[in-house]
Amino acid sequence: MLRSFVASIVGFLAFASAPPLRAQAVPDRTAFERGAGSVLVPQGGSVVIRDGAARVGVLGVAVDIDVVGQVATTTLRIALNNPTRVTQEIELMLPVPRGAVVRGFDFAGRAPAQSAEVLPAQRARALYDSIVSRAKDPALLEFADFDTLRSSVFPVNPGTGLVVKVVYEHVLVADGDRIDYTLPRSESLGPNWIPWTVEVRIRAPRPIAAIYSPTHAMTELRASPAEARLRLDATAAREPGPVRFSWLLEGKGLNATLYVHPDARIGGGYFLLLCGLPPAPADAPKTKREVLIVLDRSGSMRGEKFEQARAAAMQILAGLEDGEWFNVLDYSSSVALFAAQPVQRTDDTIAKAKAYLERLVPDGGTDIQSALTCVLRQNHTSGTHPIVLFLTDGLPTVGITDEVRIRSDAVAENRHARRVFTFGVGHDVNAPLLDQVAIQSRAASTYVQPAENVEAKVSEVYRRLHGPRLAAPTLRVLDEHGVAAPHRVADIEPRALADLYDGDQILVLGRLRGEGDVVFEVEGDQLGQTATFRFPFRMHSTADDCAFVPRLWASRRIATLLDDLRMSGADPKVALTRGAQDGEIAREIYALSTEFGILTEYTSFLAQEGSVLADEAGNLARMNDQLQNRLRMQRAGRDAVRQAMNTQRLRDQQRLNRRNRQLDQTMNETAFDRVAQVGQRAFFSIKGRWVDSRLARRAANVPPDDTMDLASDRARLALTSLDGGSLNGVYSLGGDVLLDIGGKAVLFQRTPTQQAPAIADPTASPPIR
């Protein structure tokens, strides 16, 4: 494998330096009609269509996307591997966006120049049907509604690698000031999903206010206000599904765009509101900060933990700018202060504060309530943005230790609306308390694991707290006439918007009710002045465009419900009076988990072999046991911290989590492949069959109402008529599929000769750049 990988690189370098080859006419006959043994779709795998032929594997795919204005040039380098001892010819079929034009197609090797053409969707469909009839595998039909680039690749020599380069160009769709890009790929969760690298360069006609991907984690680098570079994170290299990202151009101040997924079942649909501002110029006026640092100096902090916390405080002081204010508070069994009230940053005050920090010695217990009360009662410097960085490594052991009292006092004492960013160091912390103190003040909690560096974690949070560009934002909904219309939306997440710091964006999800256009109004403090922005939107988005919206909303909704239940566990007396209310919350969590295929650590048993989805009462009882004994009862320790971190992932979720990744009981990340998400629907793998979650209450032994061959025209027509045509991903699931159509259970069967889809060569190596 190593030799073939190196050979691929050598061949690619030779190919890249060679002069471009002239385009040739594409033969009328397809490659497999002339003798090709297999068909390769890099986004979905390969199928063998001739007896005795072998499967050519894909080692990896490297994608470069260059966007100028609304024109995107996409370059794919597809690394192939022929594991056999004979030369192979393959039919390459590459799904591309509608209207794409081939600008280049080539590969190194002994064959003469090759060329390719793009088949419109109707012609491509006929070709896919022909291949499926030979291969007896309908998996490739997932892409049958795409335009498709087609060509033969020959020779693919035995035991060596080959890099095929494809370049296509297309005009991107704009929705107001938002421009969308989608890279077609399979939704399959196959274990051998090949690694992809994706790099993007965007050159826009005016500054970019926000960049957002609802599907994959991407690293963003701004070269200038109107130019950005993106890179698919290494953690997302093997994540399935189309890669989608959008960018929002600058408006007059804050700009916004709306993603809508209609759903008649709830009397409207789901929405995602994205707001952003371009990066602020270096010389732009900024809101000055008032930073109060609160350090736990109890005896348990002694040693490396406290040294790292001290270093973090030193680093924060060094980063303060002229005109900003600060103070340092430290606590154990009592509270002490560097200064009686916040002081302005000068060389002298910084030097004295550092000397104060150097003299601190950890000792005593942990009086969290007194420390919070003291810092929140500090005078506020007018015209500054109030930030508190609160560190602790333990439970409250001195003074008032009741969680409910501490939490309520933190709200009552916060008359200056300070943002309290909490840091739990280690596992011996009250995680629910730290979460709620932060959430109720428009801030966030962070957990520092025993092996992690306190200084690095604190600095990571503090670095992004510049500004803010828009403080204390609020959201109102109006009708098309500008009249308040709160009835048009429901279950908005988050309940309170966080401040918009430089480089951040506002992301709001919720349910839409009724029909007609809608206006969103965002208001907040901008450099000490109230700023109001109105965004009118026409309800024209289609379901297949934004099927990710309901699932993202459901993830955040589940987090809010879990927080509600967890807070009730702080006081056993209150928990006893909330039986009916908590029961309703638990039932909603279960319903959202099954409908959208979102597994929490309290519902992950639904993905285990042998689970019976139809046993709703039994499943609810099992989930309630988990919620009671773990979510409510475990307030501190590793399990409590892990639950807090998993819930935080749901609460902050901005993109799909197709594999339901979460932390397990050993604090390692785990994933689940027995639940698949296709379009808006979720499917559970039950005894080799994928079952639509909408049929969860149906007993497993009840026969289906109808049966279709998955590769048939009848099945195709049925699938394309559902959910705006967003269900083609079911072709790639493997096994039979039981689908809800109009309240009836329809079984889509693979015939006994149909293979499960082959996702990739199981010996896949990293992609070639």
Residue 157 confidence (pLDDT) above 70: yes
Phi–psi pair at 6, nearest 5 degrees: -60, -40
663/682 Cα distance (integer angstroms): 22
Helices (H), 445-578: 454-463, 548-568, 572-577
| pLDDT category of residue 768 using cuts at 50, 70 and 90 | very low
pLDDT tens by residue, 669-692: 999 989 999 988 999 998 888 999
Contact 273, 552 (CB under 8 A): no
Q: What is the pLDDT of residue 512?
A: 94
Phi, psi of 469 (to 5 degrees): -75, -30
DSSP state of 426: S
Can you tell me whether residue 327 is helix, strand or coil?
Answer: strand
Instruction: Supply the pLDDT for residue 600.
Output: 96
How much is the pLDDT for 222?
93
Average pLDDT over residues 140-153: 86
Q: What is the mean pLDDT of the chain?
A: 87
Token reading at 281: 């110029």
Closest CA to 395 of 374, 426, 354: 426
Does the pLDDT at position 584 exceed 60? Answer: yes
pLDDT exceeds 50 at position 57: yes
Tokens of 645: 């971190």
CA atoms lying within 13 Å on the CB side of residue 694: 15
Confidence (pTM): 0.90
SS3 of residue 59 by DSSP: strand
Looking at residues 120-137, what average pLDDT do you find?
A: 81
Name the strand (E) or helix (H) holding 725.
Answer: none
Assigned token pair, 347: 């060389």
Instruction: Give SS3 for 16.
Output: helix
- What are the pLDDT digits (tens) for 390-437? 999 999 999 999 999 999 999 999 999 999 999 999 999 999 999 999
Query: If you average pLDDT over residues 45-70, what whole number do you get?
Result: 81
In 3D, which of 58, 96, 101 has the Cα closest to residue 77?
A: 58
One-letter amino acid for residue 319 of the chain: G
At 414, list the tokens: 């916060």
- Residue 596: the pLDDT is 95
Side chain identity at residue 263, one-letter code: D
Give the model confidence (pLDDT) of 316-371 as tens digits: 999 999 999 999 999 999 999 999 999 999 999 999 999 999 999 999 999 999 99
Contact 90, 31 (CB under 8 A): yes
Spatial distance between the Cα atoms of 503 and 696, rounded to a whole number of angstroms:
42
Strand, helix or coil for residue 627:
helix
pLDDT at 480: 85
Distance in angstroms (rounded) separating the CA atoms of residues 147 and 659: 28
Q: Which residue has the higher pLDDT, 227 or 162?
A: 227
Reported as a pLDDT band with limits 50, 70 and 90, residue 282 is confident
pLDDT tier, 46 (very low <50, low <70, confident <90, very high otherwise): low
Q: What is the pLDDT of residue 190?
A: 64
Question: Which residue in this structure is represented by tokens 């930030």?
Answer: 387
Using CA atoms of 220, 225, 227, 230 in order, give the dihedral in degrees to the nearest 10. Answer: 10
For the record, the structure tokens of 705 come out as 């109402």
Q: Which residues contact 483 (CB under 8 A, 6 or more apart)?
A: none
Does residue 528 sit in helix, strand or coil? coil
Contact 565, 657 (CB under 8 A): no
- Tally Cβ neighbours within 10 Å of residue 525: 16
Residue 23 has pLDDT above 60, yes or no: no
